Structure 1
Amino acid sequence: MSEKIFFAGTGNMGGAILRGLLKAGTNPSTIFFFDPSDKAAAEVTALGCVRVASFAEGINKAEVTFLCVKPQIFKLVSAEWKAAAAAEKTSKTFVSIMAGVTRKALIEVLGEKNQILRVMPNLPLTVGKGSVGLATDGVTEETLAIAEKIFCNIGVTCRVAESLMDAVTGLSGSAPAYVFEFIEGLTRGGVKAGLTRDVALKLALGTIEGSVELVKQSGKSPSDLCAMVCSPAGTTIAGINALEEGAFRSTLIKAVVAGTDRSKELGK
């Protein structure tokens, strides 16, 4: 990356993106960050990145700014951000990972002269296997390409209209928690059936990893692959029947919709 990048916040998501850039060979001296926590800042400084004293200093030094604070914090810092952005004479690029904070709300604070891109990453970014939704509304192809170049180091990207960002949040933003619950459920099922917890967890993780890779490589739909496992009157169809009795798929659909609705509420 030739651009200088500033991170406003270096928590789980901001830190994952930052570390992904470093793994991809970005010179740490071109990465600036602001974090009020001295302890957290010391960890990032140890990587060679440059700590700045304020948001204003950060956006002044960089071409691309990642807004990585929690959405609930946005209103608390918006006045400071607005003053800092107004003082800048040149156009800047801002990339926001704040769930539910609309591009319109960001423009009101950061100004219309700047490129403002909303993205929704998820927690697996911290291990380089994340999913990121990019809202295409009102941003240039150059800005989208810069974001994709950054995120390709730590996950996959999908371009969507901003109107679908709440759905991205409800699905990929929240779904890692659903997957963790699924893993725990499989593990407990194995324990109930007589396996040790370590063996059950190992089998569950290996099965999930292999199943994901099979979907990617086979070209078949999840439904088709499910049918391949379900032999007539066999063990798998008995298990599938138990899942259907518990409204498994319907519950997952409701979870994604609930997360989407909550994201919309956060944006109001």
Structure 2
Amino acid sequence: MDKISLFGLFLGISAIVGGQILEGGHVGSLAQPTALLIVLGGTMGAVMLQSPYAVFIRGVRMMRWVWIPPVIDHAALISQVTGWGHIARREGLLALENVINQLDDAFMRKGLQLLVDGAEPERLREVLEVEINTFEEQMKLSARIWEAAGGYSPTIGILGAVLGLIHVMENLSDPSKLGAGIAVAFVATIYGVGLANLVFLPMANKLKAHIGRMVAQREMIVDGLLGIASGDNPRIIESRLQGYIF
């Protein structure tokens, strides 16, 4: 569980609600289901319109990474790759074929298979870097749906404000209905700007940070495989891979 994400969201919302209370306002005045429906529904509709189905669904599923980040154990990976190096030095590259079927990660399996098949180091790098670049672009494309939501929601909030003012203008003869319309108008703007800057844009940036870590992990694998293909000492491979840890 990413506690700083939870604390950050709690702190942001608490600061806004606390400011409202200190100004003498009521918390209930910020609770406007109509405004929330307009902003969330309109924003998600715009994001769905711009995104292919697969990209949108993947982006929604990635949202859990904000709270439960993908597990990336660099130390375990370095130990694993170094172990491959020891096997290759003792028994030859063909001995790694027994390791391939034990791996769950498709990228690792592909890299080891290329290594066992005798691919030249430059060809190995070329093939795997194409896959890394494709993976990175696909993941970032999905993360950008939240960036897009952060761009659309303030405008949708303004649209909600206009709808609220239209409601006010239609009921000028009935003062009892004016307060509700004005409340929706202003709260919709708060929801639009607040969701963009407290939720959607921070989520997009955190997802891109996790994607960067996943890409670095794959680059570590490639670097290790190239070292094994070149016959480097496992200690040298381990030392080089340590440089990826930050």
Q: TM range, normalised to the smaller chain?
A: under 0.3
Specify which structure has the higher proportion of helix: 2
Greater Rg, structure 1 or structure 2?
2
Specify which structure has the higher proportion of strand: 1
The higher relative CO (CA closer than 8 Å, separation ≥ 6) is in 2
